[in-house]
Amino acid sequence: MKKSTITLLFWSAVAYAILLLLVRSLLPPDLTPTITLTGIPLIAIAAVLMLDLIRRSTRPADTRERNPGAGFKASPVQLISSQIMVAAEASNTYFESVVRSRLRDLLVEKAALELGLEKDKVRRTLSDPDKGPRLLQDKTLYSLLYGPAPEKGPARMRMIDEAVESIDAWKS
């Protein structure tokens, strides 16, 4: 219980005791107090405590229904397109970790399907500067995906276009 509730309870008990002593002093000693003399003040104290607790109680906030349809609803193609647009002017780290890694993953998947190898083995082979170009048999494609990052802007967009076309044309 809070301190103010205990204080309220204490002063209510003091008022009840004073009221009881006053009434007892006004009544003759041979009369016993009636149920109303003892019951009504107790009910009043209980009502005061209840009102105090109701006043302090918290009420839950109205819950709003969440709209599951809200938020970003782009198709994977739109998501990749937006990442490419950002990558054209973004840092080299972003370009490497988002765009180039996605292009490498596409190449790994295609190479694994075309060559009938496991993806992990293809990924390890492609990451090796000696074995990667031999596996692809295309040094241009390998240098696009595993070489140095091009300058920001149009050069990156050209590199992405060339890489996508080369991946699409590889072994087809």
Mean pLDDT over each residue of the chain, to the nearest integer? 81
* pLDDT for the residue 6: 78
Q: Which residue has the higher pLDDT, 112 or 47?
A: 112
70 falls in which pLDDT band (50, 70, 90)? low
Q: Which residue has the higher pLDDT, 108 or 39?
A: 108
User: What would the two tokens of residue 152 be?
Assistant: 């920001």
130 falls in which pLDDT band (50, 70, 90)? very high
Quote the CA–CA distance of 102 and 86 in Å, as a whole number: 14
- Sequence-distant (6+) residues with CB within 8 A of 95 are 87, 149, 156
* Averaged pLDDT for residues 156-163: 87
Quote the CA–CA distance of 165 and 160 in Å, as a whole number: 9
